[in-house]
Amino acid sequence: MDPLQGIAREIRFLDGLARTLWSVRKIDPDSDFLVCDDFEEAVDTFADHTALVFEGERYTYRQLDALANRFAAWADAQGLKAGDNVALLLPNRAEYVPAWVGLTKLGIAAALINNNLTGAALAHCLSISNASHVITDNEGLAATETIRAGLPRVLSYWIIDAEFPTANDRHALDLKSPKLAPERPLRSRRTGLKARDVALYIYTSGTTGMPKAAKITHMRAQLYMRSFAGATKANAEDKIYCVLPLYHATGGLCGVGSALLRGGTLVLRRKFSATHFWGDVIENECTMFVYIGELCRYLVNQDPSPDDRRHQLRLAFGNGLRPEVWEEFQARFNVPRVMEFYGSTEGNVSMFNFDGQPGAIGRVPPYLQRNFAVRLVKFDVETEMPVRGEDGLCQLCGPDEPGEAVGLIKDDARHNYTGYADKAASERKILRDVLEKGDAWFRTGDLMRQDKDGYFYFVDRIGDTFRWKGENVSTTEVAEVISRYPGVDEASVYGVKIDRIDGRAGMAAITPSEEFKIEGLRDYLTRELPSYARPLFIRIAPAIETTGTFKYRKVDLVRDGFDPAKIEQAVYFAQPDEQRYISLTPALYVHIQSGAFKL
């Protein structure tokens, strides 16, 4: 990088950082200015501007506020009060944001339930919500039919657009009823509430087990919403396209905040559709969109279309855009800027890649390192714990050395850690005696590396990295290599246990297209990966199960292992003598488990 490019980079970084920090400067845990006050302030400023577009309907800021006030009136009629919880079991729809905003006007917390859940997972999330009422729709109500008897408490279900008859535990929620006043409840109704009080419960995605309910205080919601309004340079002319679920923070707070705190318009779709994506963006004249996970890969995998570059986008922002997709996505669709960020729903570590360095999840330049309370500590993947020195303290990583990202816990807006509803789960995420005795840091559970220029790069989730042949294998890095092989639409990599062999052998679940050929895969991986990182097993999967935020669920894949009796689709084994992948039969499975091969 020449000196002029370096100067331009620093200007972009410092400009983005200054805007973001300025946006959150007044957030204070002891303030009585809550997230609903932020919303009301925007309503008063942009009253008749279009706030939301959903399925052909347009809503002004004033109309959204009236909807929020009707939800507050409903809660008041049920005798709910500050400190109570209500569960929201809804898909993306116009009432979603007004529902939780209206509840916060009375100090009531909303538990945002993933509307795709069924069975035990849904029962678990409703149970730990501590809610007595559930706001849902017909589909959500149907999903609860088989689990009600197993819930620890009786819940009342309130159905928007009800088609079910009313009963003891289910009622129509008529938002047009004159009994539900559209006027704002008096601000005195939340007297005594502070920004450190809980506004929402947002659930982790449950990639490795049951979801956990993260406590989102008013302060934390404000931090999400205000920081993204600042980082994206959002203004009243912007139209932000959101296809992400509103029950998660990226769409529901980061995307919503960018649109609604600065007078912009949120263009909301019920769910992501790769075939309708660019048509929607063009028709609604969107200037930004918010992405997560594999969304951009799905777009890249679509056939080229004249609509690919007819948009007016100036920015795409989100997290999880993998390096092998980034440059192709940006070049093909002519998106001027991509702003990747890192953050977890429950944690206190956040960072932005303001200058669009492909693959980087954020940056802390060396000259500002002391001003940011995030560090990478050396990590032992076998014990799944940070490495400590003779003094009992953690050891910091050097440039490009992978380690776990941790964030210093302090009682202010940027560094506060509120954890989960489950106190034991919250405590497990705290690492003590890191840089000095008595300090406390939040464990992100993510392995990263930081280069000499301060860019952070994601390496893997703790638990996904495994050891094989005495080496650490990053599932993310191996999956990126496999994804570049012709005919691979998706790849998820994980480790599986083989009897009487130390470590875990690599296995990849692959969703193939028509051009995929297993015959050339072994040679390709031999060229691209060291021997210890090449998957020993390949599983063909028509589709790889993901969460609502497109994260791969590996728990079932790991449980199946490489046993062909548990897997309906084809499984292949990298036969060491033949240097190719061969079909794994039940007899060959027994042979491998017996230790017949030198692996």
Q: How many CB atoms lie within 10 A of CB 89?
A: 26
pLDDT of 301 reads: 84
CA angle 596, 597, 599 (to 5 degrees): 145
Closest CA to 550 of 271, 359, 361: 271
* Residue ranges of the chain whose pLDDT lies below 50: none
| Domain 367-460 CATH (choose: 3.40.50.720, 2.30.110.10, 2.30.38.10, 2.60.40.10) | 2.30.38.10
Tell me what pLDDT residue 72 has.
Answer: 97
**Residue range 502-551, pLDDT digits in tens:** 778 999 999 999 899 999 999 999 888 878 889 999 999 887 766 555 56
Phi, psi of 479 (to 5 degrees): -60, -35
Instruction: Report the relative pairing of strands 488-496 and 466-468 from DSSP bridges.
Output: unpaired
- Identify the CATH assignment for 31-218 out of 3.40.50.12780, 2.40.10.10, 3.30.540.10, 4.10.110.10: 3.40.50.12780
pLDDT for 576 equals 86
- Cα torsion 369, 370, 371, 372 to 10°: value is 60
What single-letter amino acid sits at 461?
R
Question: Quick one: pLDDT at residue 573?
Answer: 95
In terms of Cβ atoms closer than 10 Å to its own Cβ (0-12, 13-18, 19+), residue 320 is buried
Q: If we measure between CA atoms, which residue out of 246, 253, 247, 241 comes closest to residue 311?
A: 241
Domain segments of the chain as ranges:
31-218, 367-460, 464-593
Residues 36 and 14: their CA atoms lie apart, in Å, by 30
Burial code of 414-439, b = ≥16 C-beta within 10 A, e = fewer? bbbbbbbbeeeebeebebeebeeeee
The region, left, alpha or beta by phi > 0 then psi within -120 to 50, assigned to residue 141 is alpha
Q: How far apart are CA 268 and CA 274, in angstroms?
A: 15
pLDDT of residue 552: 61
CA gap 433, 336 in Å, rounded: 44
> Which residues, listed in sequence order, are joined to residue 352 by a DSSP beta bridge?
341
End-to-end Cα spacing for the chain: 44
Tokens representing 389 are 């020195």
Considering the entire predicted model, what is its pTM?
0.82
The C-alpha angle with vertex 155 and arms to 150 and 161, in degrees rounded to 5, equals 115
Q: Which pLDDT belongs to residue 205? A: 64
pLDDT of residue 405: 96
pLDDT of residue 549: 54
* Residue type for position 520: G
Dist. CA 590–CA 387, nearest whole Å: 38
Residue 209, pLDDT score:
57
Helix (H, G, I), strand (E, B) or coil at 495: strand
Instruction: Quick: pLDDT tens for 53-96.
Output: 999 999 999 999 999 999 999 999 999 999 999 999 999 999 99
Looking at the chain, the number of H-run helices and the number of E-run strands are 17, 30
Give the H/E segment covering residue 482: helix 475-483
Gap between the Cα atoms of 573 and 536, Å rounded:
6
CATH number of 464-593: 3.30.300.30
Give the pair of three-digit tokens for residue 321.
Answer: 């855009």
Tokens 């919503």 correspond to: 256
- Token pair of 380, please? 């032992």
Rounded CA-CA distance 201/421 in Å is 8
Cα separations in angstroms, 571 against 111, 336, 351, 585, 596: 41, 42, 40, 8, 19
The C-alpha angle 176, 179, 180, rounded to 5 degrees, equals: 60
